[in-house]
Chain A
Amino acid sequence: DTGVSQDPRHKITKRGQNVTFRCDPISEHNRLYWYRQTLGQGPEFLTYFQNEAQLEKSRLLSDRFSAERPKGSFSTLEIQRTEQGDSAMYLCASSWGQSQETQYFGPGTRLLVL
């Protein structure tokens, strides 16, 4: 299967801990997006990369959130000092080429903050 992969699929953590999620996009895709989805809502855009450049990060929810994509391949999303309100599904998507192209989603990482 050469689709988008995410790891871990589930994460349970205690409030105040740091967590890091990984996303591996489809291999030839140059764009990578992070979204967050809470119950009953559509996915909410967080940030995106074109190759290794992070071109939009103002939508990250707070300065506790950060993302990287070293070498333009996989990406990581880190949440520092987690709060219960961070509990959600974190989705990664990738696409190729221009901004209007189809985005393909990974299976997501479900985070529960106790």
Chain B
Amino acid sequence: QKEVEQNSGPLSVPEGAIASLNCTYSDRGSQSFFWYRQYSGKSPELIMSIYSNGDKEDGRFTAQLNKASQYVSLLIRDSQPSDSATYLCAVGGGSQGNLIFGKGTKLSVKP
């Protein structure tokens, strides 16, 4: 059974701080990794995709991948109250291409 684990939170950070979200996955053969943001009652919205070891930056967001440790993280710099949402880590599930999701980490950014 392929699994993706996330700390459910809530993670609370003050406005302007760095929020760090973490995710581990069980299938060592996984090759694609995604972070989605989901506001309450809404559908998941893609933030970042990452395929290779190392860091990938996009604006205030940085995704980090370590395949040896089976670990993915998302850093949000200069956190804003509008970043308050649930962040879903998703891993590509193999030949079907379906995503395997973690339960999500709820982030709260306090003004």
Binding site for B on A (CB under 8 A): 31, 33, 35, 40-45, 48, 55-56, 59, 89, 91, 93, 95, 98-108, 110
Contacts and interface: CB of A to CB of B under 8 A. Distances in A.
B43 A108 contact: yes
Contacts of A56: 96, 98
Interface of B: 4, 8, 31-32, 34, 36, 41-46, 49, 51, 88, 90, 92-104
Contact of B94 (A33, A99, A104, A108): A99
Contacts of B32: 100-101
B12 to A, nearest CB: 18
Shortest 10 CB-CB contacts between residues of A and residues of B: A42-B101, A99-B97, A45-B98, A100-B32, A108-B43, A105-B43, A56-B96, A105-B44, A43-B101, A100-B92
Nearest to B102: A42
Contacts of A103: 34, 46, 99
A110 B41 CA distance: 9
23 contacts: A31-B97, A33-B97, A33-B98, A41-B103, A42-B4, A42-B88, A42-B101, A42-B104, A43-B99, A45-B93, A45-B98, A45-B100, A48-B97, A48-B98, A56-B96, A100-B31, A100-B92, A101-B32, A101-B97, A103-B99, A104-B46, A105-B43, A107-B43
Contacts of B44: 43, 91, 105
Nearest to A42: B101
A44 B88 CA distance: 12
A99 B97 CA distance: 4
Contacts of B103: 40-42
Contacts of B95: 99
A93 B8 CA distance: 24
